[in-house]
A and B are shown apart, each in its own frame.
Chain A
């Protein structure tokens, strides 16, 4: 298991009011993302626990693109990764942000 941590500038605040959202599953080639509204405004923190070693640069690229494309300010994202491919990671991150924006719960 490798643990990675990123803190990124995320000027656009995440929409909605849900305190947290969870998407995905921990399985081979998949991942689980827990989004919580507990980071400082203007920042997004990402904590990753992954079964695949040595992909720090790829994670950095994926989360940097993610905060540039989606409104993720104020979120802390905790990821349990089962060796998912970067495109799957990007999709799950986007799904987590969409879910936390939704009304209800």
Chain B
């Protein structure tokens, strides 16, 4: 007789093994390594919650200290490789296989472990794609998650940084997996219930908040004149003509500059109310002046941002908040919103090739992609019209019948021709290809495919790839905004001039922009302190951003 409930039986065994260390559902921090050795089985698929922001750091440290003779060959399925412990488990042989989405600070070490054979790579996903696989073929058997507080029954309050937690718990717990939560404290009554207690099997009182990286804070003091010029080009050359109201901004100084130019330069162009009214976006501190000036009607967030909690709570007409007043973020829903309900994604990258493919993977750093491949892709399932979507579709395919013509999402790559360390943004060949060859991968890790990119903006101008009719035109439009990089200097100047006549390449002067007007005085806030003042003292910047 076939056992149709083997997973439930296995869970019951894990629960029984775990209860030896528990009082009710509670485990002591000191018992965590032994507890994890008791409930995890070699070869398990494990989600150790961590993304580009929140981290189950106490559980990560505990997992990295289990005995590799007892627990080995784990298959880690998680959004972020961010903490050193996330890689220690591979170095020690506790884990072997990895499917993930994002790695920022650990990008160089990920590369070393991949080349050294310590990590067997499944794939580098976009968040939503990894979440999707949680429900199909990468369902975790164990989830180690993080919350702000719990009650005795295991109900969890995840607060402003809810992020991935509901998705991870849904996939794990309803498929007979084990859920263990770290919380800062166990309380009698929660401010709100984000995760129902019957989905949570064990919890540990860490006595400190889980770690959160302030990833989306950009100090206005570091914004350069070139970034301001690039931002002016984007606002006047893309936001205004397409009338982009619903959008997502990627991380970076270029998009921070755009946010800080809205109440000044954008106001002068008469764009208030016509652009940037609805965002899928984390609470960027640099958006405070635009919010205060009444530009932004609504923002849904993937996560929170350190220091923005009080500001968000005091602006509930703009942000999604719970009955307790604090932000409710949800990465999966916000990624869906970015895919289907936004007309534009604008963000930065490290390398763009001659077809417009872009990647943040370089020869020595395997940074993941996070949400960019999703936000920066055209949703082929989209069916509702909007002005920017229809206009972009018409530019790409002017000959077809309007009623049967698919619109296009605006996918904009923005950056300076020479990026960090004076590396060229434009390359003949992506480093990602070299990585794929070395590691024998079927797919090179491309962040945004060239056929999804509609515009590339640099300080030299805007390339509108929607207006390019063949490969040669695309290549020359890209070279035509590549400035003094090798790719830029190798342009066919006559062809770029012809593309410029058609508007497929536009220079600052074509848009009536004088580069000499790109002045820091245009920024609505020129320092972190200005942002704090603009928020009426509600924004409380983390100490590393305070220099007064």
Please name 15 further chain A to chain B contacts, defined as beta carbons within 8 Å, in addition to the given A86-B483, A91-B518, sorted by A numbering: A57-B489, A58-B484, A58-B489, A61-B484, A62-B484, A85-B226, A85-B418, A85-B422, A86-B484, A87-B226, A87-B417, A88-B224, A88-B226, A90-B515, A91-B515
Check if B136 is an interface residue, CB within 8 A of chain A. no
How many whole Å from A49's CB to the nearest CB in chain B? 18
Q: A residues within 8 A CB of B225?
A: 88, 91
CB of A87 within 8 A of CB of B460, answer yes
22 A-B interface contacts by CB (under 8 A): A57-B489, A58-B484, A58-B489, A61-B484, A83-B422, A85-B417, A85-B418, A86-B418, A86-B483, A87-B226, A87-B416, A87-B417, A87-B418, A87-B460, A87-B483, A87-B484, A88-B224, A88-B225, A91-B226, A91-B515, A91-B516, A98-B516
Residues of A within 8 A of B418 (CB): 85-87
Chain A residues, CB < 8 A from B484: 58, 61-62, 86-87
The listed residue with most B CB atoms (<10 A of its CB), out of A58, A86, A88, is: A86
In the complex, residue of chain A having the shortest beta-carbon distance to the beta carbon of B418:
A85
Residues of A within 8 A of B416 (CB): 85, 87
The CA-CA distance from A86 to B426 in the complex, in Å, is 14
Q: Mark A65-91, 1 if CB is under 8 A from B, else 0.
A: 000000000000000000101111011
Contact code string A89-105 (vs B, CB < 8 Å = 1, else 0): 01100110010000000
Task: Assess A94 versus B483: contact at CB under 8 Å? Given A86-B418, A87-B417.
Answer: no
Check if B37 is an interface residue, CB within 8 A of chain A: no
Q: In whole angstroms, how far apart are the Cα atoms of A87 and B483 in the complex? A: 8
Number of chain B interface residues as a range: 10 to 19
Instruction: Indicate the member of A61, A87, A91 with the most B CB atoms within 10 Å.
Output: A87
Find chain B residues with CB under 8 A from A95 CB. Answer: 516
Please measure, in the bound complex, the distance between the C-alpha atom of A94 and the C-alpha atom of B518, giving whole angstroms.
12
Q: Does B459 contact A (CB under 8 A)?
A: yes
Chain A positions within 8 Å of B, measured between CB atoms, are 57-58, 61-62, 83, 85-88, 90-91, 94-95, 98
Shortest Cβ distance from B507 into A: residue? A69
CB closest residue in chain B, given A97: B516
Give the docked Cα–Cα distance between A58 and B483 (Å).
10
Contact partners of B422 in chain A: CB under 8 A: 83, 85
Q: Which residues of the other chain, B, contact A94 by a CB distance below 8 angstroms?
A: 515-516
Majority DSSP secondary structure for residues of A touching B: helix
Contacts of A61 in B (CB 8 A): 484, 489
Could you tell me the distance between the alpha carbons of A62 and B418 in the complex, rounded to whole angstroms? 14
Residues of A within 8 A of B489 (CB): 57-58, 61
Q: Which residues of B contact A91 (CB under 8 A)?
A: 225-226, 229, 515-516, 518
Residues of A within 8 A of B516 (CB): 91, 94-95, 98
Determine the residue in chain A with the shortest Cβ distance to B519.
A95
Give Cα A95 to B459, complex, Å: 16
Q: Which residues of B contact A86 (CB under 8 A)?
A: 417-418, 483-484
Q: Give Cα distance in the complex from A91 to B515, angstroms.
A: 7
Q: What is the CA–CA distance of A69 and B385 in the complex, to the nearest angstrom?
A: 42
Q: State the CA gap A57–B422 with chains docked (Å).
A: 16
Query: How far does the Cβ of B149 sit from chain A's closest Cβ, in whole Å?
Result: 46
Considering the chains assembled together, what is the distance between the CA atoms of A91 and B416 in angstroms?
13
What are the interface flags for B338-369 relative to A under an 8 Å C-beta threshold, 1 for contact and 0 otherwise?
00000000000000000000000000000000
- Nearest 10 Cβ contacts at the A-B interface: A86-B484, A85-B418, A87-B459, A87-B226, A58-B484, A98-B516, A61-B484, A94-B516, A91-B225, A61-B489
Task: Report the minimal beta-carbon distance from B176 to chain A, rounded to whole angstroms.
Answer: 56
- Bound: A61/B488 CA distance, A: 11
Provide the bound-state CA to CA distance between A91 and B226, in Å: 8
Residues of A within 8 A of B459 (CB): 87
Closest chain-B Cβ to A29's Cβ sits at a distance in Å of 8
> Chain B residue with minimal CB distance to A62?
B484
Within 8 A of A (CB), among B434-468: 459-460
Cα A58 to Cα B422 with chains together (Å) = 13
CA distance A83 to B418 in the complex (A): 12
Alpha-carbon distance A48/B460, docked complex (angstroms): 23
Give complex CA distance A91, B520 in Å.
Answer: 13
Complex CA gap A99/B229 in Å reads 19
Task: For A57, list chain B residues within 8 Å (CB).
Answer: 489
How near does chain B come to A76, taking the closest CB pair, in angstroms? 21
A51 CA / B65 CA spacing, docked (Å)? 48
A61 to chain B, nearest CB (A): 6
Return chain B residues, CB-CB under 8 Å to A58.
484, 489
Which residues from chain B contact A88 at a C-beta distance below 8 Å?
Answer: 224-226
CA distance A61 to B460 in the complex (A): 14
- Contacting A at CB under 8 A, from B397-438, are 416-418, 422
- What is the CA–CA distance of A98 and B514 in the complex, to the nearest angstrom? 11
- State A91–B194 Cα separation when bound (angstroms): 51
Closest partner residue, chain A, to B417 (CB atom):
A87
For the complex, what is the distance from the CA of A57 to the CA of B416, rounded to whole Å? 20
Q: Which residue of B lies closest to A89 (CB)?
A: B484
The CA of A88 and the CA of B460, in the complex, are separated in Å by 11
Q: Which of A62, A91, A94, A98 has the most CB of B within 10 A?
A: A91
